[in-house]
Structure 1
Amino acid sequence: MSEFRSKHNREERSSDKGLFNSLHSRKSVAPVIRSTEPLSKLALFIRFLKPVTWIPVMWSFLCGAVSSGFFGWHDITGIKFLLGMLLTGPLASGTCQMLNDYFDRDLDEINEPNRPIPGGAISLQNATILIALWSVLSVITGYLIHPLIGFYVVIGIINAHLYSANPIKLKKRLWAGNSIVAISYLIIPWIAGEIAYNPNLTLTSLQPSLIVAALFTLSSTGTMTINDFKSIEGDRQVGIRTLPVVFGETRAALIAAILINLGQLLAALYMLLVGQNGYALVVALLVIPQFFLQFSLVRSPSTMDVRYNAIAQNFLVAGMLVCAFAIKAAKP
Structure 2
Amino acid sequence: MTELHSSKDSEHRSGRDDSRLDSLNVRKLVAPRNRSIETLSKLSLFLRFLKPVTWIPVMWSFLCGAVASGSFGWKDLGGSKFLLAMLLTGPLATGTCQMLNDYFDRDLDEINEPNRPIPGGAISLKNATILIAVWSILSVIAGYLIHPLIGFYVVIGIINAHLYSANPVKLKKRLWAGNIIVALSYLIIPWIAGEIAYNPAVTLSSLWPSIIAAALFTLASTGTMTINDFKSVEGDRLVGIRTLPAVFGETNAAIIAAVLINLGQLLAAGYLLLIGKNIHALIVAALVIPQFLLQFSLVRSPKTMDVRYNAIAQNFLVAGMLVSALAIKAIKP
In structure 2, the partner of 1:236 is 237
Which secondary structure state, in structure 2, belongs to the residue aligned with residue 61 of structure 1? helix
Identity, % of aligned pairs? Answer: 81
Report the counterpart of residue 127 of structure 2 in structure 1: 126
Equivalent pairs counted in the alignment come to 318
Which residue pairs with 1:5 in the alignment? Answer: none
What's the offset of the Cα at 1:10? 8.7
> For 2:287, what is the secondary structure of its paired residue?
helix
1:195 aligns with 196
Over the aligned positions, Cα root-mean-square deviation in angstroms equals 2.0
What is the deviation of 1:22? 8.8
Residue 34 of structure 1 pairs with residue 39 of structure 2: no
Q: Deviations over 1:281-308 (max 9, x none)?
A: 1000000000000010011101100000
1:217 corresponds in structure 2 to 218
2:93 maps to which residue? 92
For residues 261-293 of structure 1, what are the alpha-carbon distances to aligned partners after superposition, in whole Å with 9 as ceiling and x for unaligned?
000000001111001011001000000000000
CA displacement, residues 113-161 of structure 1 (integer Å, 9 cap, x when unaligned): 0000000000000000000000000000000000000000000000000
Give the deviation of 1:20 after TM superposition. Answer: 9.4
In the TM superposition, 1:1-332 aligns within 5 A as 33-37=32-36, 38-332=39-333
- Say if 1:35 and 1:114, in contact at 8 Å, map to a contact too: no
Distance 1:18 1:269 in 2: 64
In 1, Cα distance between the equivalents of 2:305 and 2:3? 53
**Deviation for aligned residue 1:200:** 2.3
**In 2, are the aligned partners of 1:282 and 1:322 still within 8 Å (CA)?**
yes
- Are the structure 2 counterparts of residues 150 and 15 from structure 1 closer, same or farther at C-alpha, using a change threshold of 3 Å? same
Q: Does structure 2 retain, via aligned residues, the 8 Å contact 1:61–1:193? A: yes
Q: CA deviation at 1:324?
A: 0.3
Give the Å deviation of 1:13: 8.3
SS in 1 for 2:123: coil
Looking at structure 2, the residues matched to 172 and 251 of structure 1 have their Cα atoms a distance apart, in angstroms, of: 18
2:23 aligned residue: none
Check conservation: 1:218, 1:259, Cα contact below 8 A: yes
Secondary structure, counterpart of 1:177 in structure 2:
helix
C-alpha separation in 1, matches of 2:3 and 2:297: 58
Q: What TM-score, normalized to structure 2?
A: 0.92
Q: CA deviation at 1:34?
A: 1.9
TM-score (norm: length of structure 1)? 0.92
Q: Alignment partner of 1:118: what SS?
A: coil
1:158 to 1:35, Cα distance in 2 relative to 1, 3 A: farther
Matched residue type, 1:113: P
Q: Tell me, in whole angstroms, the C-alpha distance in 2 between the residues paired with 1:95 and 1:242.
A: 23
Which structure is larger by alpha-carbon Rg, 1 or 2?
A: 1
Aligned-residue offset at 1:70: 0.2
Aligned-partner SS, 1:34:
coil
Letter in 2 for 1:210: I
- Unaligned 5+ runs, structure 2: 18-29
Deviation at 1:17, TM superposition (A): 9.7
Counterparts of 2:6 and 2:143 in 1: how far apart (Å)?
64
